[in-house]
Amino acid sequence: MAADGDAKMFAKYFDLNGYACPLDVLSEEEVNTVREHFDKVQDEIGKDNATYSLHNKHLTEEWVLRLTTHPNMLKPLKAILGNNLILLDSRFICKYPVGEEEDKEAYVAWHQDVRYWGVEGDVVSVWLAVDNADKENACMQVIPGTHKSGILEHVIESKEGNLLSSNQAIPENLYDISKAEFCPLKAGQMSLHHGHLVHGSGTNRSNRRRCGYVIRYVSTDAKPIEDPNRPRSFPATVLVSGVNESQNFEDHAPAWYNWRE
């Protein structure tokens, strides 16, 4: 599904399916630059830390923040959420081939992004491919239409190797695995999915790394949910498009960066 055509048609497609894939974002030159940056970080901190520990680097690394405001990324997001956009959170997720790391069965359990987020309003997640992602190296899988089911029950995953920091997983009886679809991406392409969409990914059994950059966006009209039993904070929010008249989320953009350039 391309986002180059009518914005309303694209938004209608996304609303029906809960995801869109693949969408072109980066040129070959841009991909090579991003991969060089990431490989340098990986070499510095080690593969164990590069798997899931690179959280909200858009606050400290200019090359990362510039990714989050790339025009080709923001265009389809604006079609879905409107022109006024807040970046909520971001994380690099790297799955290395089985046997390279101690966690030999690293996978992402079936889940919904917004289960623990505490946001009132639509959240759209970007999955930007740093490396080629395909069935062989465990690209993301989605179950179309499940974003219309509301927030489903999540339990603590019993199987080891789940990369999700909260170790959440949806019980198997709450989704139909037979309807799952793969979301293969070439490096520089992205997928978009709604925060309620049921999705996950398996173990990388190829001989290739599978690295992606995940970014969450909301409209500035979205609101944090006030829950005294589970207080939440949003220390990494950044205004990436338009204006933030509602001020529901603070703009934590680094002083050295101006996305309006």
Please report which confidence band the pLDDT of residue 104 belongs to, taking 50, 70 and 90 as the band edges.
low
Looking at residue 128, what is its pLDDT?
98
Looking at residue 28, what is its pLDDT?
97
The dihedral sign for the CA sequence 106, 109, 112, 117: negative
Query: Does the pLDDT of residue 201 top 90, yes or no?
Result: yes
Q: Does the residue 254 lie in any domain?
A: no
Three-state secondary structure readout of the chain: CCCCCCHHHHHHHHHHHCEEEEEECCCHHHHHHHHHHHHHHHHHHCHHHHHHCCECHHHCCHHHHHHHCCHHHHHHHHHHHCCCEEEEEEEEEEECCCCCCCCCCCEEEEECHHHHCCEECCEEEEEEECCCECCCCCCCEECCCHHHHCCCCCEECCCCCECCCCCEECCHHHCCHHHCEECCECCCEEEEEECCCCEEECCCCCCCCEEEEEEEEEECCCEECCCCCCCCCCCCCEEEECCCCCCCCCCCCCCCCCCCC
Q: Does the residue 1 lie in any domain?
A: no
Query: Does the pLDDT of residue 103 top 50, yes or no?
Result: no
Strand partners, 87: 217, 238
Q: Does the residue 256 lie in any domain?
A: no
Round the average pLDDT of the chain to a whole number and report it.
90
Q: What is the pLDDT of residues 155-179, one digit of tens each?
A: 888 888 888 878 888 898 889 999 9
Place of tokens 């996304």: 14
> How many whole angstroms separate alpha carbon 72 and alpha carbon 189?
10
Q: Are 212 and 31 in contact (CB under 8 A)?
A: no
Looking at residue 113, what is its pLDDT?
85
Copy the structure tokens of residue 124: 């759209």
Give the strand pairing for 199-201 and 85-95.
unpaired
Q: Does the residue 260 lie in any domain?
A: no
**Lowest-confidence segment of 66-75, 226-235, 248-257 by average pLDDT:** 226-235
- Structural domain including 213 reads 7-241
Q: Which of 21, 7, 65 is nearest to 213 (CA)?
A: 65
Q: Are 249 and 156 in contact (CB under 8 A)?
A: no
Q: Does the residue 261 lie in any domain?
A: no
Write down how long the chain is: 261
Mean per-residue pLDDT, 127-155: 93
Looking at residue 158, what is its pLDDT?
80
Query: Does the pLDDT of residue 8 top 80, yes or no?
Result: yes
Copy the structure tokens of residue 161: 């190797």
Number of compact structural domains in the chain: 1
Q: Does the residue 227 lie in any domain?
A: yes
Q: What is the pLDDT of residues 35-83, one digit of tens each?
A: 999 999 999 999 999 988 999 999 999 999 999 999 999 999 999 999 9
Q: Does the residue 171 lie in any domain?
A: yes
Q: Does the residue 246 lie in any domain?
A: no
CATH number at residue 73: 2.60.120.620
> How many whole angstroms separate alpha carbon 37 and alpha carbon 64?
9
